[in-house]
Chains A and B, each alone.
Chain A
Amino acid sequence: MTDATPEAPSLALAARSVTKRFRGVVANDRVDFEVAAGEVHALLGENGAGKTTLCNVLTGLYRPEEGYVEVGGRPVRMHSPHDAHEAGIFMVHQQFRLVQSLSVAENVVLGWSRHGGTWFAPRRVEREVAALAEQYRMDIAPQAKIWQLSVGEQQRVEILKALYRGARILIMDEPTAVLTPQEVDQLVGTLREMARSGSAVVFISHKLPEVLAVSDRITVLRAGRTMGTVGTASTTARELAHMMVGRDVVFAGGPGSHEVGGTVVLELEAVSAESDLGTPALVDVALAVRSGEILGIAGVAGNGQRELAEVIAGERARTAGRVVIDGKTQEGKPWEAIAAGLGYVPEDRMGVGVAPGLSIADNLRLKSYRRNGLILHNKKAMADAEELIRRFDIVARGPRTLARELSGGNLQKLIVGRELSSAAKVLVVSSPTRGLDVGATESVRRLLSESARSGVGGVLISEALGGVFELSDRIAVLYRGRVTGLVDRKDADVDHIGLMMAGQAAA
């Protein structure tokens, strides 16, 4: 290690020419990445650009095929996240690694305790955790169980785990996706506090404004390669966008390019429903969708989106209100909604959208197998499947390929294609492009806008505001289970919608 000067702060963490492949797909291609102590460093890139893969290499979860990782200027080899912890690296994943039935304090000391030893004293640990939370100005009750906490609070527990272990390098994967703007502010405060005290923070995101607001420096990844590192002060959103995308992505269709019909195909009247935990998740929701129209549902995750989709699909019981699909009042059974012409692309693809152990052909007839009476027509299903595979451009060996062998993008094309091919009147889509690469995102979006053009009424539920703006004719905002705003796309303003998502403004 050479002496660190203010101009050249000490190197905390680096990736040197890291290459990582999955089943022949290159996720990271000779990636170089350097993070200095005391900075918040944003890792920017589109979905599928290789950000998460890189972080998994940096934290020992994946082993790179080529290249290596340096910590504090020295090469290290890590075989598990535990090795990374020992090296002072800690990552907060999008899906938290928390034990729901244990308390905050228990989660914090899990696996490692300052005191070591045999015994576990809940009270003492709770006091320690409370003190730590106070030091970083985090609002949290150490004795609360994880399942009682909001998503934002759970994220704080993850950060506390890192702080408790004295992490010098904190990696946060898309930390703001699930937060309200206030929670984002609080998070940024905590991260800044950490950087001030000499830690390095890596902040993964694909959202430009937030990256510009939070970071000191920005490294851009595109298609698995490093596009360069820039100082936040000396760059612009335009430059970053160009580095990130490399070309102008043109989506076919888009709002305004199709006619909105007159007939209402989906109507919700004063619908209320409960979450899995029995708390109110939807309150008095009223919405109407006309044929050929896409209604975007914006909102921070956990404000009733999942429940809304499930209530429409008849997969969740409603406690009050009425759902009408194409003129048919629903009693709340999935088969009834399917029969009435509802197509539904669920948030969870594997296991809900498809049965992973069944073939593509079987999965393609998941919604239409009832039509032929009690006997299945296996030969016809094969032929139909071959046609759908061609039509929706699903890359697979053939209709007998198992669904679990498909990539995320092809899986989603299968699901969207299936729902569209079953003569849907209404299409409800939940987070349709989450986790997909740029190409797959484009094709899925194209499918959606084509369906609208052909007269299907769409409901697009997504946290990605960009996608919602791109595709929707009107945008409704869900906040704490209520529709807090409903605006036309052409009158909509991102900032205003953002405020509504946080419950700070009315339409």
Chain B
Amino acid sequence: MIPISVRFEPRERLSRWTNVWVPFFAIVLALVIAGIVLAVSGHNPITTYQQIIEAAFTQPGAFTQTLVSTTPLLYTGLAASIAFRMRIWNIGAEGQLYLGSIAAAGVGLYLQNLPAPVVVIAMMAGGAVAGSLWAAIPGALRAYLNTNEILTSLFLNYIADYLMYYLIFDSTSFWRDLTSPAARVFPQGKFLPASGNWPALSIGSVTVPLGLILAIVLAGLLWGMIRGTRYGFEMRVMGDAPRAAKHAGMNIRRKILSIMLLSGAVAGLGGASQVGDFRHVLDPRGLEQAQFGYTGIVVAALARYNPISAVVAALGIGVLTNAGLALQGPNFPIGLTGTMEGILLFCVLGSEIFVRYRLRIGRTSGPVAPRRAEAAPGPARTAAEIASTERRELAS
């Protein structure tokens, strides 16, 4: 028995440097692990990474496509960030985005004869409201009946999915194209006329969708809100210590509900952007396959729930998602996207402990030979930290 102890010791000071190098090494580690997975499954990792970069940046029109993938992920990433930051686990961005799409398509079709700016703004409003209302269900249940919002918001994704399918595939709804004979055999939605197509900004050869600009503005606003407003202060306190928030006189239930509404509105806007910026139709199959809502959780977690960092994280995951779409086929099956996202997030999550703790490996010292075999290499933490974490977790 070699007397070696491996344990985590709290860092006495939290340095800003560890905040930089820990995630950096996590990403490098993720690339190495993903490379191994690629190699084992018969792909050359270097070639694959090259292909990803080419498909994302260097090929003609590639960056425009990357931005197309980034836009929805930024919305869902922001939606998850603000909720998760408060330890409200809104897993429902997926369904809230679907509802946003349904509403935006409906509004766009219904108001199609109005001037374009009016239609565009109405679509945004419709998407945000619909997403918000869909999120209100788990929000209210959590706030007033203490029902687990993780599961309710998640099940509502499935329900929203079936609702979308019903509207296009199994009914004669307002959204469905019933005019052409082909559309009766292969059901599809009605396409929006030009008034419902959101304008885009062209910078050189790159097209920046309106939805992306709006999302970046939104990220800035949310960041400012968290940092500089009373509401944001309450968010930070509640996210850190709900009992301290109660002690400070904050209305926790109303806060939970309002944060869910906000989160749902952001996701719903993402759904509106899908219809207005890109698809111009309610496209259940496409939205379902894209899994924007779930991927938004990856974006949020990578960004540590910071809205500004979410812009960067969304771009990174956008690159990966874009590769999945552009390289689709035997060289880059769709499943690789989620696999690589998972590896990346696992590495970043696992590395977080090194920001607050240092790993101590060493011989245990003492004057006397051990009476028993060395036991229990256990990590260390102060009682106060344990207590505060427990409280935080309990309340969520």
Contacts and interface: CB of A to CB of B under 8 A. Distances in A.
A352 B247 contact: yes
A68 B387 contact: no
A350 interface: yes
B363 interface: no
Nearest to A87: B371
A348 interface: yes
Contacts of A374: 229-231
A400 B227 CA distance: 14
Interface stretch (A271-279, A329-337, A494-502): A329-337
A79 B240 contact: no
Contact of A23 (B12, B236, B237, B364): B12
Contact of B241 (A76, A357, A372, A376): A357
Contacts of B236: 355, 358, 362
B248 A79 contact: no
A281 to B, nearest CB: 18
Interface stretch (A175-183, A185-193, A363-371): A363-371
Interface string B355-374: 00000000010111111101
B230 A370 contact: yes
Given A68-B368, A362-B233, A404-B384, A357 B247 contact: no
A335 B370 CA distance: 57
Contact of B249 (A68, A337, A348, A402): A337
Contacts of B241: 351-352, 354-358
Contacts of A373: 230
Contacts of A87: 371
Nearest to B238: A355
A356 B240 contact: yes
A80 interface: yes
Nearest to B370: A77
B233 A369 contact: yes
Contacts of B228: 375-376, 378
A353 B244 contact: yes
A86 interface: yes
B363 to A, nearest CB: 13
**What size tier do the contact residues of chain A reach?**
35 or more
Contacts of B367: 68, 75
B28 interface: no
A78 B232 CA distance: 48
Contact of B387 (A23, A76, A79, A351): A351
A355 B240 contact: yes
Given A83-B375, A350-B387, A374-B230, A358 B364 contact: no
Contact of A82 (B374, B376, B392): B376
Contacts of B388: 350-351, 356-357, 404
B240 A77 contact: no
B250 interface: yes
B325 interface: no
Contact of A358 (B13, B227, B237): B237
A376 B230 contact: yes
Given A344-B247, A356-B241, A77 B12 contact: no
B311 to A, nearest CB: 22
A373 B229 CA distance: 9
B233 A356 contact: no
Interface in B200-257: 227-233, 236-237, 240-241, 243-251
B391 interface: yes
A351 B245 CA distance: 9
Contacts of B233: 362, 365, 369, 376
B249 A333 contact: yes
A430 to B, nearest CB: 12
B376 A80 contact: yes
Contacts of B251: 335
B248 A334 contact: yes
Contacts of A402: 14
Contacts of B232: 376
A266 interface: no
A376 B247 contact: no
Nearest to A314: B249
Interface in A389-425: 402, 404-405
A76 B371 CA distance: 6
A362 B375 CA distance: 42
Contacts of B372: 79, 83, 86
Contacts of A350: 384, 387-388
A313 B368 contact: no
B383 to A, nearest CB: 9
Contacts of B384: 350, 356, 404
A352 B242 CA distance: 8
A83 B378 CA distance: 14
Interface of A: 23, 63, 68, 75-80, 82-83, 86-87, 313-315, 333-339, 344, 346, 348, 350-358, 362, 365-367, 369-370, 372-376, 378, 402, 404-405
Given A313-B247, A358-B236, 16 more contacts: A75-B367, A77-B369, A79-B374, A87-B371, A314-B249, A315-B246, A334-B246, A346-B247, A353-B244, A355-B241, A356-B240, A357-B388, A369-B230, A372-B230, A374-B230, A404-B384
Interface of B: 12-14, 227-233, 236-237, 240-241, 243-251, 364, 366-372, 374-376, 378, 384-385, 387-388, 391-392
30 contacts: A68-B367, A76-B368, A77-B368, A77-B370, A78-B371, A79-B375, A314-B249, A334-B246, A337-B249, A344-B247, A350-B387, A350-B388, A351-B241, A351-B243, A351-B387, A352-B241, A352-B244, A355-B241, A355-B244, A356-B240, A356-B388, A358-B236, A358-B240, A362-B237, A366-B244, A374-B231, A376-B227, A378-B228, A404-B388, A405-B13
Which 3 interchain pairs have the tightest Cβ spacing? A335-B249, A334-B249, A355-B241
